[in-house]
Amino acid sequence: MNARTMDSKLKQIKGTGKSEELFARAKELMPGGVNSPVRSFRGVGGSPLFIARGAGSHLWDVDGNEYIDYVGSWGPLIIGHSHPDVIAAVQRTAENGTSFGAPNPLEVDLAELVIKLVPGVEMVRMVNSGTEATMSALRLARAYTGRNKIVKFIGCYHGHSDALLIKAGSGAATLGIPDSPGVTPSVAATTITVPFNDVPALEAAFKADGKDIAGVIIEPVVGNMGTVPPKPGYLEAVRRITRDQGALLIFDEVMTGFRVALNCAQSLYNIDPDLTTLGKVIGGGLPVGAYGGKRKIMEMVAPAGPMYQAGTLSGNPLAMVAGLTTLGKLAEPGVFEGLMARTDELVGLLRETLHRLKLNYQVNHVGAMFTLFFTDRPVWNWDDAATCDTKRYAAFFHAMLRRGVYLAPSQFEACFTGTAHSAEDIDHTAQAAHEALKEVCGC
Ligand code: HOZ
């Protein structure tokens, strides 16, 4: 069967000339031709697709090719592209103005919903991106504890603020620049890094520096080295150690929030963090981040308290209503359960295919995120992820693209499912994966 058509309704890939032309223009105008590095396809080679539109689980590029999308704008579009309710709510809201720089009722509604859905959040501050959320949470941890250092995990990515661009995952790992130039040595010296899923390493860090550690920031399920779950008991140990040592535990749920469970990873693993950072789904495709946590800590934030943080567009009505509508849909009875079942089905089919082809590659999966790692070694941390055959991942990525399936353009990113993925999408993807693996692995 022709790989491109198979027996699905997706049309033949016609070529990507218009995307290539746009990329040539863009490279003259923007660094690397993009506004965020991992989009550039540097991790897989070739020219990135320029997207004309998205609807449900599908994307169309400027050349008119159609793809099943497992990137979902890197997570926010959990109910699909251009969901009619989100579009209608944004249009309706925009008619009354796009930003006021003054309080508006939708901020209160979204804060209320977030506090209801996220067990560890008693008060919340809206910002405009995950980077702002994590950066502000670190400042808050320092302000609250009066300590200077933070602990992060090797291969975790928490946005691009200076203190967190140390041994970072995501695009930084993909491009081989986990420690960015421009971060001053004095800032870098305040960040301690330890391997994920390694309790003794964290204990040793506290033994060495404990009295000056303000907080530990962690992706409870890592998404930014590909999907990496915590080992049983690991998050409990992190909680115990931070509590014993008087450091705050910051769950970075920018990626996992409303994705690994409706009530976030903290409910899935039953851990009570001091602070939580959110992004992606909370904005339903518009720029939103948030940080929140225990009332006594959040009351340190200005103007309630002295820790300063502000934002011109923070809490703007368009972003608030997109988030509210998205979370509202997700919380409808049966919707999240359906998403879990569909993702389980896809992951099951991928594992079956690997087994049938006698390939020992690893599929990690939690909730609505998963990664096919091109390594035989179980992936529990960055050292494991780094053993992947990234060239083979790149070949697989392109083989899937030719079959109308758009995966994350880097081995070190998670793929995301959403409520719009249909049974037909899953079948097509599984069949495409079977053929693509045979093609790139020669089996
Ligand atoms: N930070 C995102 C990946 N983990 C990439 C964002 C983007 O390129 O849009």
Could you give the domains of the chain?
17-70+335-441 (3.90.1150.10), 84-330 (3.40.640.10)
Does ligand 1 lie within 6 Å of residue 219's CB atom? no
Single out the catalytic residue among 61, 69, 198, 252: 252
pLDDT value for 178: 78
Q: What is the distance between the alpha carbons of residues 55 and 216, in angstroms, rounded to a whole number?
A: 39
Does ligand 1 lie within 6 Å of residue 253's CB atom? no
Report in angstroms the alpha-carbon separations of 139 from 21, 146, 182, 199. Answer: 43, 10, 20, 25
The reply to whether 438 belongs to the active site is no
Check: CB of residue 193 under 8 Å from CB of residue 154. Answer: yes
Percent of the chain at pLDDT above 70?
A: 98
Q: Which range has the worst mean pLDDT, 12-16, 253-257, 424-428?
A: 12-16
Please, is 14 exposed, middle or buried when counting C-beta atoms within 10 Å of its C-beta (0-12, 13-18, 19+)? exposed
pLDDT value for 11: 67
Does ligand 1 lie within 6 Å of residue 74's CB atom? yes
Hey, is 98 helix, strand or coil?
coil
Average pLDDT value for the chain: 96
Does ligand 1 lie within 6 Å of residue 57's CB atom? no
- Count CA within 13 A, CB hemisphere, residue 69: 27
- List pLDDT tens digits, range 347-396: 999 999 999 999 999 999 999 999 999 999 999 999 999 999 999 999 99
Q: What is the distance between the alpha carbons of residues 195 and 134, in angstroms, rounded to a whole number?
A: 19
- List pLDDT tens digits, range 308-335: 999 999 999 999 999 999 999 999 999 9
Dig out the tokens for 30 from the structure. 């923007």
Report in angstroms the alpha-carbon separations of 107 from 124, 189, 297, 339. Answer: 10, 37, 20, 27
Q: What is the distance between the alpha carbons of residues 238 and 202, in angstroms, rounded to a whole number?
A: 8
Q: What is the distance between the alpha carbons of residues 188 and 431, in angstroms, rounded to a whole number?
A: 46
Ligand 1 atom with least separation from CA of 39 = 8
> Any residues with CB less than 8 A from the CB of 279 and at least 6 apart, and which?
76, 129, 130, 133, 254, 255, 257, 288, 289, 290
Residue minimizing CA distance to atom 8 of ligand 1: 36
Q: Using DSSP, how many helices (H) and how many strands (E) does the chain show?
A: 15, 14
Q: What is the distance between the alpha carbons of residues 425 and 69, in angstroms, rounded to a whole number?
A: 9
Residue appearing with tokens 């809206």: 126
Q: What is the distance between the alpha carbons of residues 11 and 355, in angstroms, rounded to a whole number?
A: 29
Model-level pTM? 0.96
Q: What is the distance between the alpha carbons of residues 215 and 220, in angstroms, rounded to a whole number?
A: 15
**Of 13 and 305, which is predicted with more confidence?**
305
The reply to whether 280 belongs to the active site is yes
Longest Cα pair distance anywhere in the chain, in angstroms? 65
pLDDT value for 196: 98
pLDDT value for 1: 34
> Any residues with CB less than 8 A from the CB of 348 and at least 6 apart, and which?
none
> Any residues with CB less than 8 A from the CB of 7 and at least 6 apart, and which?
1
pLDDT value for 177: 78
| Mean pLDDT on 282-298 | 98
Does ligand 1 lie within 6 Å of residue 170's CB atom? yes
Confidence class for position 3, pLDDT limits 50, 70, 90: very low
Dig out the tokens for 186 from the structure. 């004095």
The reply to whether 252 belongs to the active site is yes
Position 32 pLDDT exceeds 70: yes
Does ligand 1 lie within 6 Å of residue 413's CB atom? yes
Compute CA 190 distance to the chain's CA centroid, rounded to the nearest angstrom.
25
Single out the catalytic residue among 280, 291, 361, 393: 280
Of 419, 336, 412, 428, nearest in space to 371 by CA: 412
**Dihedral (CA of 388, 392, 398, 403) sign:** negative
- List pLDDT tens digits, range 59-98: 999 999 999 999 999 999 999 999 999 999 999 999 999 9
Confidence class for position 2, pLDDT limits 50, 70, 90: very low
Confidence class for position 176, pLDDT limits 50, 70, 90: confident
Confidence class for position 443, pLDDT limits 50, 70, 90: confident
What value, to the nearest 5°, has the Cα angle with vertex 438 and ends 364 and 19?
80
> Any residues with CB less than 8 A from the CB of 313 and at least 6 apart, and which?
99, 128, 287, 319
| Mean pLDDT on 292-306 | 98
DSSP 8-class letter at 287: S
Beta bridge partners of 150: 191, 215
Compute CA 175 distance to the chain's CA centroid, rounded to the nearest angstrom.
17
> Any residues with CB less than 8 A from the CB of 174 and at least 6 apart, and which?
37, 38, 42, 43, 410, 411, 412, 413
Position 99 pLDDT exceeds 70: yes
Position 5 pLDDT exceeds 60: no
| Mean pLDDT on 329-348 | 98
Q: What separation in Å is there between the alpha carbon of 318 and the centre of ligand 1?
A: 21
Residue appearing with tokens 């670190």: 138
Cβ-based neighbour number of residue 112 at 10 Å: 12
